[in-house]
Amino acid sequence: MSSFGFGLITAAVLAIATVGFTMQFAVTNVLNLAYGSVMINSAYVTYYLNIHHVTAWVALIGGVITGAVASWCLNRFIFTPFQRRNLAPITIVIVALGVDLVGTFGLQAIVGSSYVAFHQSAGNEYHFLGMILNGLQLIILAVCAAVLGLIHWLLKYTRLGKAMRATSANPNLARNSGVKTQFIISTTWLISGALCGLAGTVFAMNTGVFEATSAQLYIVLLLAAMFLGGPGEPYGAMLGALIIGLSTEISAAYINPQYKEVIAFVVLLGMLAFRPYGIFGSEKTL
Amino acid sequence: MATGLSAGYDGRAIVSGIDIEALPGKVASIVGPNGSGKSTLLKSLVGVVKVLEGQVKIDETTVTNTAPEEIAKLGIGYVPQIDDVFPPLSVRENLEIGGYLLPRRDVEASIEAVLESFPRLKGMMTRKAGKLSGGERKMLAMGRVLMLSPSVLVLDEPTANLAPLVATQLLEEYIRGFADAGSTVLLVEQRAKAALRISNWTYVLGGGRIVLSGEPKDLEENPLFVESFLGGAAPTR
Amino acid sequence: MPTAYAFYLTTILVYGAVDSMACLALNYEFGFAGVSNFGFIIFQAAGAYAAAILSMPRAATANGGFQQYVLGWNLPWPLPWIGAAIVGGVVALPFVFLVGKRLRGDFAAVGLLVSAVLLNELVKDYVPFLNGAAGVSIVPAPFQSKWDPQGLGYQFAYGGVAIVLTIAVYYLLRRVTESPYGRSLRAMRDNDIVADSLGKNLRKQRAGVLVLGGALAALSGAILVGFISLWAPGAWGYAETIVLFAAIIVGGAGNHKGAILGAILVPLAFEEITRFIPPVANPTLIPALQWVAIGLLIILFLWFRPNGILPERRRLLSTGPALNTVEVVPDDGDSDALIKLGNVDQLNFRELLHLDNTVNDNRVILSTTGLSKSFNGVTVVSDVSIEIHQGKLTGMIGPNGAGKSTTLAMLAGTLRGSSGTIFYDGEDITSMPSFKRAQAGLVRTFQLASEFKKLTVLENLVSAIPKQSGDSFTGSLRGKRFWGSEDKANIERAEEVLEGFGLSQYADTYAGGLSGGQRRLVEIMRALLAEPKVLLLDEPMAGVHPNLAHKIGDQLTKMCESGMTILMVEHELSIMDAFCDPVIVLAEGMVLATGTMAELRKRPEVVEAYLVG
């Protein structure tokens, strides 16, 4: 049962990350494989604030801002110009990989390769419902749940959120209705970038010790969650993250824990082979 | 109103030498065989297709090649032939996006007004637009546009894919109704006879140019009219 | 020469050869066939491991049994290398499910990338298989019992063998890609849906490409492991594939020499440059900067010079005197009006299109019963039953949204129907895939631009010709001596058609550079050369000047007189009038009426459908 608790944490962090990633895909139709590098850079910004005597949770704001700004720049200066050239989607993905290399290893060149950790206490342990979670994990859970709730509120109840959903469904019609789609797309990258920054920082907090390449393999879990729920579907992303997060941790209780991530891989490959539009998508959306 | 208009994709003109006019309280229709450029013409009026030559004016304002977002602000409502709603959004949300440019407090009132015109939509406010039937979808598409109470309505083949009865109702009740209420209506239609029935003035397009134009009753008696549809009247340049 | 430099030189030779071979293989997959194998490193690793465990002695007894691995058959050279290549090819097979289906290119690529990560993790974690994270070491070098692998002479010989093998791979791949098979691969790369509609078996082609690429990648791995004697998961992270992609992008995708150049400039140069940089305090700084440089190379080259330093070369096929190849044609709307069709009336369609054996007997050659199609609950085509008679030019008309294009797509196999059956030439083809239908003579064209952009006009035409002996992997291997004269005859036939339609001067121009009307003609010519028995034309006159349209119509009539059957979906009713008999009218997804235009005009329901509501 304790693995259920770990699963919840993993799912929560993964959900934040995946919702951001899938929003970027929904509005720009690009698999932003540079997402992991933005995550880890945001974590490091938080870390540097943290070691300069800012408490971790306040320093988090720095990470969130970093993620937002970096993602916005990524769209403005890389993806949009390349997309204007009408290249095959695969080319943009290769560009994204290039950016990921620059972002991750540029960071490593600057900060070195030693492991670091936040100055924060793990808090007390709490036992309930068979789960053992420490204070830090509970806060992570709470923050993630709150942010997911915020996103839900944004998408469903605000004018901006509806404009975002309209733009990703039918950009031409949105423009006809008076929506400034350019602005909406930029804002989407800003918001999803903030999620990316948050996810990166919380991921680093949860992992304990981290370094520049720690987030490189996270993209696999992310892709699995996204394709499970359906590319471009934020609610699908949340569901996918929940399933992947829980199943990887719970499986660790039954099989050799080293292999727990294999489930994510198998799910991803299975979805790509049989149902690439995910649980919530349909053939037409692809 | 368009004068000397030429428009097309990638620099190649699909329609040229177009002069058309639409007046308040009246329905102007554009008919013609497939491939004559009707859709392209309409799209060039609302900023979706590039105008290569000529001008488009609303009253005295020149709006040639204005971006679609601005067109909406000028009181022009455009209903495309396909992709006319936001499928993953609910009916209510579709209408709300239609009212994007309205001040927050007026949106509800506008929705009420639209529902007056299309009472069938009242019971489906939470249904996703992608799940509506053809007729309901078209009503929603028009409702979206009506949210801004546009003075000009531009409709691209509104009855495409609709069953004949629904189509007739759409044209005769709703579309004619908008004109009678004072709006300017410009529509492109494939069902030429039905369009004639509700129009004050009709343009016949063929091979990218205006072949005939006039009042419906005059056109119906013109033998060239039927010819232009069932083949033969496409002019050679 | 000081010994240190000499040894260094041997290292360069081996690494240069290995990297070149890997890049040649990846370029074959990505640059020529359009298969984005983001998991390429898997295959090189498979080869290295295979060569290792085939040549090493049994794990339990070797060197005190400190390693765990499977096999250990202690085979002498060259068996481990041959085994490695076979393993590489076999490992490729399961991945065909990712690239064979119509999955978006970037999604499939991501699937391959993820597979590389997964396999790396699994090998790391499951120690008994390949010794886990520590990897296999003390891999025997070929002939090490006879000659000292540490000796300079041995190492030079090793380098020499590696280079010879790489050169052999170069010539092998060149033989494959400069053949009709290679042409089909490039067509698949440029527009896979169209290639499929012309009879190319995409799954088989992609499988073949992955298998050959995998085998060659594995060979490169085997050569490397024999030299450095060890191989561990750290050596084959997914990022290694990115380095190779960068190499190809820099060197030139679609160009074999470009692949080799890229291999020398990127993986090789990058590794070697670091030897000359003085050590810095932070040991990970240099490798990190290397990765940053790779990333920047990718971005900058894709922005400024996406075709690489040595771009893909144009293949000049024309057999006539050298023409001034026209590069980009100015797209002037009026030029289409002036297109003269040349000596088209002299074209003997019966001969050119191999219609000689068809008898014009007016039998029903294509028919459907109860054909329907629904998308998401919306019925687009409903209970359509039609009969197409051999030798007739049948038209299909109807208002927008009537289901014409959908019906045509179902006939061609592009779309699977929701219900109903389709019969062609006496056979039930309802579940036959589209490429097989094309091979059986049921060929379609597309409404939107569908030329193979990076193939010349002549290549576009010749690629459609069926039953080319050089259009298979084995056929390509047998070389020009095998398929050369047949190909020459095919080219001449294509040139004849090209001349007939008045476009000879564009024979060696890239098809992507022509005007709209010219591209339309190329598509029609290409469809003809596919030797269709039944040709399905999807709005062939769309956007074509009426003069040209009528000229094309004349030719279509001639083709039907020569024994072909044509079903044409069109809007231009004057075309229907002049050329089509009978005409099928569709409205709202159902067949409304059939007859000649004159008859249809008299039918009130047809007039209603077109004019009324």
Using alpha carbons only, what angle is made at residue C255 by residues C253 and C260, rounded to the nearest 5 degrees?
90
Q: What is the pLDDT of residue B233?
A: 34
- In angstroms, the separation between the Cα of residue B89 and the nearest Cα of chain A is 7
pLDDT digits (tens, 9 = 90+) for B218-229: 887 777 776 666
Whether the per-residue pLDDT at C74 is higher than 80: the answer is yes
Percent residues over pLDDT 90 in chain A: 61
C interface toward B at CB cutoff 8 Å? 331, 333, 337, 376-378, 399-401, 516, 541-543, 545-547, 571-574, 576-577, 588, 597, 601, 607-608, 610-613
Asked whether the beta carbons of C451 and C523 are under 8 A apart, the reply is yes
Which of B200, B92, B102 has the alpha carbon at shortest distance from B148?
Answer: B102
Reduced to 3 states (helix: H, G, I; strand: E, B; else coil), residue B58 is strand
pLDDT digits (tens, 9 = 90+) for C138-151: 888 888 888 888 88
B46 contact residues in A (CB cutoff 8 A): 176
Asked whether the beta carbons of B95 and B152 are under 8 A apart, the reply is no
- In angstroms, the separation between the Cα of residue A27 and the nearest Cα of chain B is 14
Preferred mutation among B9, B10, B15, B34 to probe C, highest tally of C CBs within 10 A: B34
- In angstroms, the separation between the Cα of residue C603 and the nearest Cα of chain B is 12
Mean local confidence (pLDDT), C254-268? 94
Least confident range of B120-129, B139-148, C322-331: C322-331
Q: What is the pLDDT of residue A208?
A: 87
Preferred mutation among A22, A157, A159, A173 to probe B, highest tally of B CBs within 10 A: A173
Reduced to 3 states (helix: H, G, I; strand: E, B; else coil), residue A81 is helix
Whether the per-residue pLDDT at A24 is higher than 90: the answer is yes
Confidence of residue C76 (pLDDT cuts 50, 70, 90): confident
C-alpha to C-alpha distances, C553 to A125, C388, C556, nearest whole angstrom:
82, 18, 5
Of 3.40.50.300, 2.40.50.840, 1.10.150.20, 3.40.470.10, the CATH number of C338-352+362-611 is 3.40.50.300
User: Least CA distance to A173: which residue of chain B?
Assistant: B84
Q: What is the pLDDT of residue C439?
A: 94
Neighbour tally for C377: CB within 10 Å: 8
C242/A contact by beta carbon, under 8 A: yes
At the top level of CATH, the class of B2-83+150-229 is alpha beta
Whether the per-residue pLDDT at B5 is higher than 70: the answer is no
Whether the per-residue pLDDT at A203 is higher than 90: the answer is yes
Whether the per-residue pLDDT at C554 is higher than 80: the answer is yes
Whether the per-residue pLDDT at C212 is higher than 60: the answer is yes
Whether the per-residue pLDDT at A196 is higher than 90: the answer is yes
Q: Answer yes or no: do C103 and A276 touch at CB < 8 A.
A: yes
Kindly list the domain boundaries of chain C, sorted by start residue.
Answer: 3-304, 338-352+362-611
Across the interface, of A97, A258, A269, the residue whose CB is closest to C242 is: A97
Written as one string, the DSSP assignment of C108-156 is: HHHHHHHHHHHHHHHHHH-HHHH-GGG-B--PPPTTTTTS-TTSHHHHH
Whether the per-residue pLDDT at C528 is higher than 80: the answer is yes
Q: What is the pLDDT of residue B35?
A: 66
Q: What is the pLDDT of residue C322?
A: 53
Kindly list the domain boundaries of chain A, sorted by start residue.
Answer: 8-215
Confidence of residue C327 (pLDDT cuts 50, 70, 90): low
- In angstroms, the separation between the Cα of residue B186 and the nearest Cα of chain A is 16
Half-sphere exposure of C188 toward its Cβ, with a 13 Å CA cutoff? Answer: 34
Which of B119, A137, A266, B134 has the alpha carbon at shortest distance from C376?
Answer: B134
User: Least CA distance to C571: which residue of chain B?
Assistant: B34
Whether the per-residue pLDDT at A163 is higher than 90: the answer is yes
- In angstroms, the separation between the Cα of residue C132 and the nearest Cα of chain A is 12
Helix extents (H) in C305-356:
349-352
Give CA torsion, residues C338, C342, C348, C354, to 10 deg: -70
Which residues lie below 8 Å from residue B227, measured CB to CB, with a gap of 6+? B233
Q: CA-to-CA distance for B15 and C60, rounded, in angstroms?
A: 81
Q: What is the pLDDT of residue C339?
A: 61
Please identify which residue in the block is written with the tokens 């070149």. Answer: C20
Q: What is the pLDDT of residue C612?
A: 43
- The mean pLDDT value of chain C amounts to 87
Q: What is the pLDDT of residue C325?
A: 53
Whether the per-residue pLDDT at C287 is higher than 50: the answer is yes
B155/A contact by beta carbon, under 8 A: no
Helix axes A262-274, A234-252, angle to 10 degrees: 140
Q: What is the pLDDT of residue B235?
A: 35
Q: Answer yes or no: do C546 and B207 touch at CB < 8 A.
A: yes
Percent residues over pLDDT 90 in chain C: 50
Kindly list the domain boundaries of chain B, sorted by start residue.
Answer: 2-83+150-229
- pTM of structure: 0.90
pLDDT digits (tens, 9 = 90+) for B169-214: 878 888 888 888 888 899 898 777 788 888 888 888 877 778 888 8
pLDDT digits (tens, 9 = 90+) for C336-389: 555 666 666 667 777 777 776 666 677 888 999 999 998 766 788 989 999 999
Q: Answer yes or no: do B69 and A178 touch at CB < 8 A.
A: yes
Confidence of residue A187 (pLDDT cuts 50, 70, 90): very high
Q: Answer yes or no: do C295 and A98 touch at CB < 8 A.
A: yes
Q: CA-to-CA distance for C91 and C41, rounded, in angstroms?
A: 12
A177 contact residues in B (CB cutoff 8 A): 72, 97-98, 100-101, 144
The secondary structure element, H or E, covering residue A223 is helix A218-229
- In angstroms, the separation between the Cα of residue A83 and the nearest Cα of chain B is 18
Whether the per-residue pLDDT at C600 is higher than 70: the answer is yes
Q: What is the ipTM of this complex?
A: 0.92
Across the interface, of C36, C101, C125, the residue whose CB is closest to A90 is: C36
C96/A contact by beta carbon, under 8 A: no
Written as one string, the DSSP assignment of C47-68 is: HHHHHHHHHSPPTTTGGGG---
